[in-house]
Copies of this chain bind each other. A is one copy, B any other.
Amino acid sequence: MHLKIALLGGDGIGPEVLAQSVKCLKAIEETFNHNFELVEAPVGAIAISGTGKPLPDSTLKLCHEADAILFGAIGALEYDNNPEAKVRPEQGLLKLRKELGLFANIRPVKMFQSLIKNSPLKENIVKGTDLVIFRELTGGIYFGEKHINQDGTVASDLCEYSEKEISRIAHMAFKAAKKRKKKLTLVDKANVLESSRLWRKTVTEIGKSYPEVKFECMFIDNAAVQMMLNPSQFDVILTDNMFGDILSDQGSVIIGSVGLLPSASIGANNAMFEPFHGSYPQAKGKNIANPVASIFSTAMLLQHFGLDEEANAIVFAVHESFAKKVVTADILGSSKYGTDYVGDFISEHI
C-alpha cells in the first residue's frame, strides 16, 4: 500500500517520540512491502519561531493532502507562563483539528497486565480496565467565541454545541459499543449546563436506535471519581471536548504511565494519530521520554487503513519490550534505556 503520512513532531518531547515511530514505520514498510511517503512539517512553538504562525499554511496544505497525520505534542513553557501572548502553540493543534474536521477523538484505555504494578490505583481496582473514550474534538468551549474586554478585566469563553455535532460522534460511539461490551456512558454536567442537557437529550434519543447497548449518564464530577474507584465499570465513554480532555488524562494515568496511550482523531476525510501525553517540556532533549504512546499511535494509524497484521506486529514488538524490560524510566522508576534505545529495540522486533 502507498500512504502519504505527514509527520508533525511539534514541541517538547514530540519530535523525539515521533522519531521512534518513524523507525517503526520503516520497519513495517520493509517487512510488509509497503510504500510510506513520510513528510515532516512544523507546528506549534517551533513553527511560531520559524514562521510566526503556530500552523503554517504549508503544514495545513500537507495535512489536507496526506492520507494521515502522525502528531507528536504541542506546548512550551514560555507560552504557559505568558498568559498575554496572542499567538500560542496550542492554536496550531486546535486549528488543525478544526480545519480537518477531526471531530472524534478516540482514546482507548486498556490495562497492560504486565504493568499493573505501576498503576497509582490498587491492583484490585484497576484490574480489568478496558474502556474507550469518545471525546468530541472540534466543538464546545475550546472553539466557542472568546472575548476579553478592552481594559482586560473581563474574559469569557462560550461553550456551544449543536445537535448535529453531538449526534455524529454519538453514532460512532454507539457503533463502537455494539462491537465491544455493549455499554455507553455519557458524561456531562446536565444538572448545571444547558449544553450538557442538549447532549443528554440528543444522546438519549439516539440510544433508542441501539437497543443492544446499555446506556447511562453520569455527571463529570462523579465520573472523575468513578475513574478512580471502579474504572472497569466503563466500556465506551462519550463526552464533550473539555470533559474528554480531563477524563482521558485521568484514564491514561491509571494504567501505569501517561507515556503509553495512543489516540486517533477522526474526521470525514482525514485522520490524525497522537499520544495522549503532552509536550513535557521538562524532558525535552534528555532522551528519557517514553516513545510507546507515539508508537502505539502508529499502530492505530495502520489499523485505520485495514493493515491489521502490520499494526499487530507493532503491538507485539512493544509487548516484547515490556517483557524484556526494555522500557524508559517512567515505567521502572529508573532505567538505563533511553527513548532512542527503546525505539530501536521495538522497531528491530517488528
**Separation of A66 and B189 alpha carbons in the complex (Å):** 31
Interface residue? A58 (CB, 8 A): no
Which among B80, B155, B198 is the interface contact of A198 at CB below 8 angstroms? B155
Given A141-B159, A161-B154, A220-B246, A80 contacting B225 (CB threshold 8 A) = no
**Separation of A254 and B144 alpha carbons in the complex (Å):** 34
Residues of B near A156 (CB, < 8 A) are 144, 158-161, 194-195
A250:B224 contact, CB within 8 angstroms = yes
Given A121-B122, A122-B122, A155 contacting B161 (CB threshold 8 A) = yes
**Separation of A192 and B81 alpha carbons in the complex (Å):** 13
Q: Which of A185-201 contact B (CB under 8 A)?
A: 189-198, 200-201
**Separation of A298 and B193 alpha carbons in the complex (Å):** 30
A84:B201 contact, CB within 8 angstroms = yes
Contact string against B for A residues 177-216, beta-carbon threshold 8 Å, 1 for contact and 0 otherwise? 0000000000001111111111011001000000000000
Residues of B near A217 (CB, < 8 A) are 80-81
Given A228-B121, A250-B228, A222 contacting B278 (CB threshold 8 A) = yes
Nearest B residue to A124 via CB reads B120
Interface residue? A88 (CB, 8 A): yes
**Separation of A173 and B197 alpha carbons in the complex (Å):** 33
Give chain B nearest CB distance to A163 CB in angstroms: 4
Interface residue? A168 (CB, 8 A): no
Which among B81, B160, B197, B222 is the interface contact of A154 at CB below 8 angstroms? B160
Stretch at the interface among A145-153, A266-274, A303-311: A145-153
A221:B249 contact, CB within 8 angstroms = yes
**Separation of A6 and B146 alpha carbons in the complex (Å):** 40
Residues of B near A159 (CB, < 8 A) are 141, 156-159
Given A194-B156, A221-B245, A253 contacting B278 (CB threshold 8 A) = no
Which residues of chain A have a CB within 8 Å of any CB of chain B? Answer: 75, 79-81, 83-84, 88-90, 94, 120-122, 125, 141-142, 144, 146-148, 152-164, 189-198, 200-201, 204, 217, 219-222, 224-225, 228-229, 242, 245-246, 249-250, 252-254, 258, 278
